[in-house]
Amino acid sequence: MPIKLIVNGQARELDVDPDMPLLWAIRDHLQLTGTKFGCGMALCGACTVHIDGQATRSCVTPVATAQGRQITTIEGLSTPAGHAVQQAWIALNVPQCGYCQSGQLMSAAALLASNPHPSDADIDSAMAGNICRCATYVRIRGAIHQAAETLSAGATA
Amino acid sequence: MYFRHIEDESAASPATSPSPPELTRRQFLQLTSLAGSGLTLGILLPGCGSQPGAGSVAGPLTMPFLRVAPDNTVTVISKHLEAGQGVWTGLPAIVAEELDASWAQIRVESAPAEVPTYQNMAFVPMGVHAQLTGGSTAVANSWQQLREAGATARAMLVAAAAARWGVPATDITVSEGVVSHAGTGRKATLGELAGAAAKLPVPANVPLKNPTDFKIVGNEQLPRLDARAKSTGKQQFAIDVMLPEMMTAVVMRPPRFGARASSFDASKAKAVAGVVDVVQIPRGVAVVGRDMWSAKKGREALSVTWDESDAEKRGTTELMKEYRALGRGKEALTVKEVGEADAALAHAVKRVEGEFEFPYLAHATMEPLTAVCRLSPDKCEIWAGCQFQTGDQAAAAAAVGLKPEQVTINTLAAGGTFGRRATPDSDYISEVASIAKATGGKYPVRLIWTREDDITGGRYRPLNYHRITAGLGKDGKVAYGQRIVGQSILIGTPFESVLVKNGIDPTATGGSAAEQYDLDHARVSWTPPKVGVPVLWWRSVEHTHMAYSKEVMIDELAQAAGEDPVAFRLKLLGKHPRHAGALKLAAEKAGWDNPFPKEKGRGRGVAVHESFGSVVAQVAEVTVSGNKITVDRVVCAVDCGIAVTPDVVKAQMQSGIGYGLSAALYGKITLTDGHVDQTNFHQYQVLRINDMPRAVEVHIVPSRNPPSGVGEPGVPPIAPAVANAVRAATGTRLHTLPFDLAAARRAKA
């Protein structure tokens, strides 16, 4: 039985082990490589995607359980919050090595979608699952605040 | 001995007269193939002169470090690995400055593996002729080279415009990538002039800009060239390389360091769907599958019998016990001796003593080690975040039985390195090449290390024990005695012959108080134990432990003397003006002279340290609640010479502070009976956003000196600054890393 996925709005069929983590299905079989492998145990957040809008660790999500649900990867991040965080990330020169940043952005976009004005404490709590070994954390906080301002300015304009 | 890039020091060229560049085979092929296609091309190396054109002026100007294309893009060729430290912005900034290009037209790409063209000039005086990123040298060693490259290209483009317009070159100006002649009002882009410029001879000794005219170098607002790709998931790392027919491999490695596979049973592994091959390689047994999942499942089903007769079977508890005994024993190599340390310490009126213990540390790069290899009978191609291209090329060649020049190295952005990707034996590159060889080059192969492979894989920052006595004499002079016990990183590697002097490994022993303060009496000695756990440079190398014990002991001595920690240090820094300058700036910006609020559990501490040519001072403010340490604020001052890209300098200080704090609060690899105890981030904990100080303020000391390192120097001061702050807050000394305040309090009681 092929696995049927909806990734970035497109229906895809895959002939893979149903237990294969969604991460490896989208990377190795859909060639969507923006989503990264970091730990394989939902400890680092590099593999974060949105499933039905929720930030989800794709490295521990069996591909079969994601069938029929809306999967969004960094390549398909197109929500207002998604764009706002990406623009803020670029404006503040957040990335260093950049490897964790897809996951950081997916978590940040999900945070802003549910909490448009997060405090530093809210950010720390929502982003604690995403490790950055370059420790870009100070700029991540700053960029999330900046994106929040952009979004609220856009909402009131 | 395939390290042909490392010569005996006697044979080394002095830094001032490097051997003349040669037209390499690759450049020759590039030249001939493009000439054959009818395109105008200038491969312009000093001494090679100009290349005949095909009549058209539309062509690129191609030089070793840059390419100006007809589409008006300027591509800077980076000989260094971008691993987050910002060289893909810093190196282009130097070229763009001298070229007077617009930042918007600048692109960057990795250089091929070629020595001497792309060797790291910083290591040439030591006799190492290698393309290598390390020691925070990328901008420092490229500074003069890339200024000259940019200025030379500019002169050629101006000469082409002068010839085209029939005006004197001296009347032509270049600004924001536009070449202009005011008298005639003529203008051209760099791209429009590239083809004509490529036909001109390469001028020598082109004058460089006066630094007061810099617009790009030193620009605080310069965007990182890689920020967009890295904010959209488009940056390609080795793990993202997808070649037709490519298979994925994981390797089962020995459970203890030094063990070897004696036999294996692949029957169950081969029965896993998607597994295509199981092959033995020198470093273990590789399972190859059609994707990562099948390779990993295959490895779980693999059965290997190990010969552990030569394996390291001690645990870190036993090792530290041995280290303590060695540190108290007599046998040691003298690293540095000034005055009469023993006598001065015996007569000291104030004295402090400390024993320091530092664990093994894994680098834990976010992108686990990954490399891709495609092998054909006469060619081997590697894609990886190569940090040591020359060594990687040689190692791959040795593994597959080709010559180094038959190995192409494609250096991709690395998802962090912190030293891990520059191993003297090119471990993971050697592995992927061995797998390609063992599978006969049937398919391209991508090797991925899992996080477990990474954390348990060795190449750690060495376990260390320091014993220090510091004293203050009646005459006010400081005496300092330090014993260091820790493995050598260099001994036993090809670097030993050129970098180890009189048996002393500088990467195990450098940066002591004897070097960094004006001391009248100091003795530093080292005992390197033989241990089978492989060790490596870890972001800031010896300074990770040497700065810690130094800055904590100096602080304790200041306290014993009843003096202010900043004032006490400044008295010992008369001959170290850059240390004093950075320390004063950090203290001033932190408001050190203002009394710190006397609230329960709050404290402030300071540390200063030089590494890789730069001096960094940091003031840390902490809150201690129970046994929990929170770092509230860090004020950092850095003297790195001219700050080529100030925002990258600031980012590297922030990064170094986070990386160092990670080790101070959590970093620890332990072994039990030779087995590594930690496997993934739940056991090898690293700093997360909730532990990052809310305020990290970075100030750059104004300087006209040539640029020095920034990738590593931010790391060493943070742990001692925080420890000194915790002592100020609680009275408890932290001499064992990572910090365990409860244990330190028990030990004191």
- Which residue ranges make up each domain of chain B? 9-222, 238-309+369-448, 316-361+459-748
The whole-number pLDDT of residue B54 equals 35
By CB neighbour count within 10 A (0-12 exposed, 13-18 middle, 19+ buried), where does B169 fall?
Answer: middle
Q: What is the pLDDT of residue B52?
A: 37
Q: Residue written as tokens 């039990």?
A: B672
Consecutive H or E run containing B250:
strand B247-252
The DSSP 8-state label assigned to residue B700 in this structure reads: E
Residue B607's alpha-carbon distances to B554, B573, B577, in angstroms, are 9, 13, 15
End-to-end CA distance of chain B: 55
The verdict on whether omega for the bond into residue B282 sits within 30 degrees of 0, i.e. cis, is no
Per the prediction, chain A carries an average pLDDT of 97
Residues in chain B with pLDDT values less than 50:
1-56
Q: What is the pLDDT of residue A157?
A: 52
CA-CA distance, B284 to B302, in Å (whole number)? 12
Q: Which residues of A touch B368 (CB under 8 A)?
A: 37-38
Q: Are strands B178-181 and B186-189 parallel, antiparallel or unpaired?
A: antiparallel
| Residue B469 contacts residue B522 (beta carbons within 8 Å) | no
Please give the pLDDT value at position B58: 81
Give the pLDDT confidence score for residue B12 in this predicted structure.
33
Residue B276: both structure tokens together: 């295509």
Answer yes or no: is the ipTM higher than 0.90.
yes
Type and span of the H or E element at B689: none
Q: Where are the beta strands (DSSP E) in B491-591?
A: 521-527
Q: Which residue of A has its CA nearest to B684?
A: A43
Q: Which CATH number fits domain B316-361+459-748: 3.30.365.10, 2.40.110.20, 3.30.70.1380, 3.40.605.10?
A: 3.30.365.10
pLDDT at residue B32, as a whole number = 30
Going by their DSSP bridges, the two strands B106-110 and B74-78 should be labelled as parallel
Q: Which of residues 632-691 of B touch A (CB under 8 A)?
A: 647-648, 651, 654-655, 657-659, 661-662, 680-682, 686-690
Neighbours of B43 (CB within 10 A): 19
Q: Are strands B407-411 and B333-338 parallel, antiparallel or unpaired?
A: unpaired
User: B237 touching A, CB under 8 A?
Assistant: yes
Q: Which CATH number fits domain B9-222: 3.20.20.70, 3.30.365.10, 3.20.20.140, 3.20.20.10?
A: 3.30.365.10
Largest CA distance in chain B: 86
Rounded distance, CA B713 to CA B516, Å? 14
Distance from the B397 Cα atom to the nearest Cα atom in chain A, whole angstroms: 28
Residues 6+ apart with CB under 8 A from B500: B488, B490, B491, B506
* Tens digits of residue pLDDT in B700-729: 999 999 999 999 999 999 999 999 999 999
* Helix, strand, coil percent values for chain B (each to nearest 5): 35, 25, 45
A155: distance to nearest CA of chain B, Å?
Answer: 23
3-state secondary structure of A39: coil
Q: Does the CB of B453 have a partner CB in chain A at under 8 Å?
A: no
Shortest CA gap A47–chain B (Å): 11
The predicted pLDDT at position B749 comes to: 75
Asked whether B455 and B419 are in contact (CB, 8 A), the reply is no
The predicted model scores a pTM of: 0.93
Can you spell out the DSSP letters for B303-339?
EEEEE-TT-----HHHHHHHHHHHHHSS--EEEEEES
B104 lies within 8 A of chain A by CB: no
Contact B517, B478 (CB under 8 A): yes
* CATH number belonging to domain B238-309+369-448: 3.30.365.10
pLDDT at residue B48 in the model: 34
At A156 the pLDDT is: 60
Q: What tokens appear for A139 in the block?
A: 């700029």
The DSSP letter of residue B206 is: P
User: For B301-346, what is each residue's pLDDT tens digit?
Assistant: 999 999 999 999 999 999 999 999 999 998 999 999 999 999 999 9
The arithmetic mean of pLDDT across residues A85-95, rounded, is 98
* Predicted pLDDT at B53: 37
Confidence of residue A154 (pLDDT cuts 50, 70, 90): confident
What would you report as the CA-atom Rg of chain A, rounded to the nearest whole angstrom? 15
**Band of the pLDDT at A1, cuts 50, 70, 90?**
confident
Query: In this structure, which topology does domain A80-156 adopt according to CATH?
Result: DNA polymerase; domain 1 (1.10.150)
Say if domain A3-76 classifies as CATH 3.10.20.30.
Answer: yes
Alpha-carbon distance B398 to nearest alpha carbon in chain A (angstroms):
30
Spell out which residues of chain B touch residue A100, defining contact as CB-CB under 8 Å.
366, 415
* Integer-rounded Cα radius of gyration of chain B: 27
Peptide bond before residue B116 is cis, with ω within 30 degrees of 0:
yes
Instruction: Tell me which chain B residues have a C-beta less than 8 angstroms from the C-beta of A96.
Output: 84-86, 651, 655
Q: For chain A, what are the domain ranges?
A: 3-76, 80-156
CA A14 vs CA A1, A30, A50, B373: distances in Å: 9, 9, 19, 26
Nearest to B140 by CA among B643, B713, B703: B643
